[in-house]
Amino acid sequence: MSEASISIEYAMEKASGPHFSGFRTPTATSVSSTTFSDANVPREPFVIGVSGGTASGKTTVCDMIIQQLHDHRVVLVNQDSFYRGLNSEELKRVHEYNFDHPDAFDTEQLLECIKKLKIGHSVQVPVYDFKLHRRSSDSFRQVNASDVIILEGILVFHDQRVRNLMNMKIFVDADADVRLARRIRRDTVERGRDVNSVLEQYAKFVKPAFDDFVLPSKKYADVIIPRGGDNHVAIDLIVQHIRTKLGQHDLCKIYPNVYVIQSTFQIRGMHTLIRDRDISKHDFVFYSDRLIRLVVEHGLGHLPFTEKQVVTPTATVYTGVDFCKKLCGVSIVRR
Ligand SMILES: Nc1ncnc2c1ncn2[C@@H]1O[C@H](COP(=O)(O)OP(=O)(O)O)[C@@H](O)[C@H]1O
Ligand SMILES: O=c1ccn([C@@H]2O[C@H](COP(=O)(O)O)[C@@H](O)[C@H]2O)c(=O)[nH]1
């Protein structure tokens, strides 16, 4: 990316110089006849995986990222939605069921869902009930195509195929005692459990599976967030990175004083001409000059002006504007 500041004098001189209007007919060999497609080619969504032990703060961190990216389309997909659910036999012996083992999830269905979202399709995600340990038979959550897809769950880094779909992998860290305390509170308040059953499940399944599957998958993380949702610095940095990855137009959302000149077919046509190695020197100079003029004129529109009244030849008053002759500049950033 190169940056150049233009002086007011230069800008005014360029803007008031000879005016080339219109898009000249290209010379015979300069442009191919391919039809231009829409300038806004849809980008592939940015997929973020968020893993970590139970009650480490994964959901909290995801909610904070989503809140900060409020000006983008962001969707959250929970691995929990892909729990297979228990049949009646398994339900009778629910205390023997290991919900923390990779086999408890329908990973094939999860893969299919993320692949579809990545190519811009909407999907129906199952709704899992933690109290009944089964999926709702008649309701689904519709998840639409988005700019950012966040996949959150204890084992989202376990399967290599799922990992490969991710552009960024975050591991949320919290001390084991903090997580256990949170889990007891959450499961008794929200998931209809009693303290004894939570402790029993934790010792029998949750902790061993954390050591065997969750912790070993931490090595795949690009970023580790200690203290989860309390770590505002880490979350801010992650959001900045995502914004950068989302591209050029989002610069305007980060910096309120950045204006992007909207690309039009005319502009792209001229860019095509000046990049064509067969263009004549005369046409190169002509179209480069015209492109520079567009940028300069756009920049001039952002200079400070004050209101000014003038009297017209018919003796009426016209209220217009006059350039404030202050020392100022407009930076032109080229990507
Ligand atoms: N930084 C925190 N301070 C206090 N409580 C928290 C914090 N982060 C999460 N919690 C609480 O702990 C529980 C689990 O958090 P959650 O974000 O749902 O974790 P996870 O998605 O990893 O299971 C929730 O009840 C939540 O309100
Ligand atoms: O029916 C169920 C399904 C899952 N669990 C427990 O949930 C956690 C995963 O959810 P987090 O929000 O990441 O904590 C997992 O440790 C399972 O043990 C359950 O208890 N019952």
**Amino acid sitting at position 146:** S
| pLDDT score recorded for residue 110 | 98
Has residue 35 got a pLDDT over 60?
no
pLDDT (average), residues 46-60: 97
pLDDT tens digits for range 60-101: 999 999 999 987 889 999 999 999 999 999 999 999 999 999
Range(s) of the chain covered by CATH 3.40.50.300: 3-251
Has residue 257 got a pLDDT over 90?
no
For the chain, give the longest Cα–Cα distance: 95
DSSP state of 284: H
In angstroms, the CA 298 to CA 261 distance is 8
Task: Give the closest residue (by CA) to ligand 2 atom 2.
Answer: 130
In angstroms, the CA 34 to CA 39 distance is 14
Has residue 118 got a pLDDT over 80?
yes
In angstroms, the CA 120 to CA 57 distance is 29
Contact 122, 144 (CB under 8 A): yes
In angstroms, the CA 311 to CA 144 distance is 57
**Which has more pLDDT, 39 or 335?**
335
The rounded percent of the chain whose pLDDT value lies above 90 is 70
Phi-psi region of 169 (alpha: psi -120 to 50; beta: other; left: phi over 0): beta
In angstroms, the CA 262 to CA 45 distance is 22
pLDDT tens digits for range 305-329: 889 999 999 999 999 999 887 777 7
Q: How far is the CA of 201 from the centre of ligand 1 (A)?
A: 19
- Whether ligand 2 lies within 6 angstroms of the CB of 100 is answered as yes
**Which has more pLDDT, 24 or 152?**
152
Has residue 11 got a pLDDT over 50?
no
| pLDDT score recorded for residue 314 | 96
Collapsing DSSP to helix, strand or coil, 61 comes out as: helix
pLDDT tens digits for range 221-232: 999 999 999 999
| pLDDT score recorded for residue 162 | 98
Has residue 160 got a pLDDT over 60?
yes
Residue of 154, 171, 187 to mutate, ligand 2, most atoms within 8 A of C-beta: 154
The CB density around residue 104, as the number of other CB atoms within 10 Å, is 21
Among candidate residues 109, 214, 78, the one with its CA nearest the CA of residue 158: 214
Band of residue 299 on the pLDDT scale cut at 50, 70, 90 = confident
| pLDDT score recorded for residue 34 | 28
**Which has more pLDDT, 303 or 236?**
236
Of all atoms in ligand 1, which is nearest to the CA of residue 228? 1
Q: Which ligand is nearest to the CA of 60?
A: 1
Of all atoms in ligand 2, which is nearest to the CA of residue 53? 13
| pLDDT score recorded for residue 7 | 39
Collapsing DSSP to helix, strand or coil, 137 comes out as: strand
Of all atoms in ligand 2, which is nearest to the CA of residue 183? 14
Q: How far is the CA of 223 from the centre of ligand 2 (A)?
A: 23
Q: How far is the CA of 238 from the centre of ligand 2 (A)?
A: 26
Q: How far is the CA of 81 from the centre of ligand 1 (A)?
A: 18
Q: Show the ligand 1 pocket: residues with CB < 6 angstroms.
A: 52, 54-60, 182, 186, 228-230
Band of residue 298 on the pLDDT scale cut at 50, 70, 90 = confident
Contacts of residue 34, defined as CB under 8 A and 6 or more positions apart, other chains included, come to none
Q: E-assigned strands of the chain?
A: 2-6, 46-52, 74-78, 123-129, 134-143, 148-152, 168-173, 223-226, 305-311, 317-323, 330-334
| pLDDT score recorded for residue 323 | 86
Q: Tell me the CATH number for domain 3-251.
A: 3.40.50.300
Task: Report how far apart, in Å, the C-alpha atoms of 155 and of each of 87, 145, 251 are.
Answer: 22, 23, 34
Contact 287, 274 (CB under 8 A): yes
In angstroms, the CA 297 to CA 17 distance is 12
Quote ipTM for the complex: 0.98
Token pair, residue 213, equals 């599957």
pLDDT mean across residues, the chain = 85
